[in-house]
Amino acid sequence: MFISLEQFGLAPHFRRAAETGSVRIHELDGPAIAGGLRAAACDLPYGLIPDMCTDLPRVNPQTYQSVPRAPGERAMLKVPAIHLDVTLLHAQQADELGNVQYFGPVFFDVLMAQASKKVIVSVDRIVPTETIRRDNHLTKLPSAFVDAVVEAPFGAHPTSSGGLYEADDDHLAEYVRASGGSASFTKYLETYVSGAATQADYHRRIGSPHLREPASR
C-alpha cells in the first residue's frame, strides 16, 4: 500500500521516512487490508483473498500465505487478521448518541470500526436524532460501534468531506511545497497547527474563500 496526496504525488514526509529507513514498511494491498479487517471484525485468525499473481507473497511472505487447493479451484491467499486498538474517522454528521452518517463513500471506514477496540469519529456537524432517523439509510456506523463523537466543522480540511465541501487544492499544494524542507515545514506548522489556538482560528488562517458552508439537508 502507498500513502499519497493523489494528483500532488506521494506524501513527502512519508516518502522521505521510507527512503531513509526511519519507518518500517509493511507491504500490503487493498484486498489484504480488507481481508485482514474483515477477519478481525468476525473474530477470525485470518481472512482469505484471491491470489492476484503479484509479487507481494514474495516481498511479504509473513502476510501472504498460499492456501492448498484442489485442481480447478481458484488460487487463494491467507492473510492475518488486522486488529486495531483505536480508529479515528471523519464523517459528515452524527447525533449525540454516536449514530454516524455518510453523504459519500465510506471506503474502509466501517470495516475499520468493526475491527477496532475504540472508535472516535469527528463529524462536520452534530444533528438531532430526528434528523438521523429521517434519513436512516445514510447511517453507516450505528452508535454501538462508536465510543466518542466530536463535532469538528470542516474537520476534513484540506481534504474533502462528501457532499459538504471539496478538497482545498490550493492549500494541499502549499502543504506539499512546505514539506520540501525542515525550515519551511516548521513555518507551516507554526502557521496552521501550533499557532492556531482554536479551530475557528485555523479557519481564519486558511481564509474564508477556501471553505464553503455545508448545504442544508
The grid cell for 7 is 494528483
Least confident segment among 48-62, 126-140, 158-172, 203-217: 203-217
Write down the H helix ranges in 72-162: 109-114, 129-134
Give the distance, in angstroms, between the CA of residue 141 and the centroid of all CA atoms in the same chain.
Answer: 15
Give every CB contact of residue 182 below 8 A, 6+ residues apart in sequence: none
Say what the pLDDT of residue 200 is.
85
Residue 156 confidence class, pLDDT cut points 50, 70, 90:
very high
Residues in the chain: 217
The CA angle 176-119-47, to the nearest 5 degrees, is 90
CA atoms in the 13 A half-sphere facing the CB of 73: 10
Looking at the predicted structure, is the pLDDT value of residue 29 above 90?
A: yes
Q: Is 95 exposed, middle or buried (0-12, 13-18, 19+ CB in 10 A)?
A: buried
DSSP output for 13-59: HHHHHHHHTSS------HHHHHHHHHHHHTT-SEEEEE----SHHHH
Looking at the predicted structure, is the pLDDT value of residue 216 above 80?
A: no
Per-residue pLDDT reduced to its tens digit, 80-131: 999 999 999 999 999 999 999 999 999 999 999 999 999 999 999 999 999 9
Cis-peptide into 158, omega within 30 deg: yes
Q: How far apart are CA 17 and CA 23, in angstroms?
A: 6
Number of H helices, E strands in the chain: 8, 8
Residue 203 confidence class, pLDDT cut points 50, 70, 90:
confident
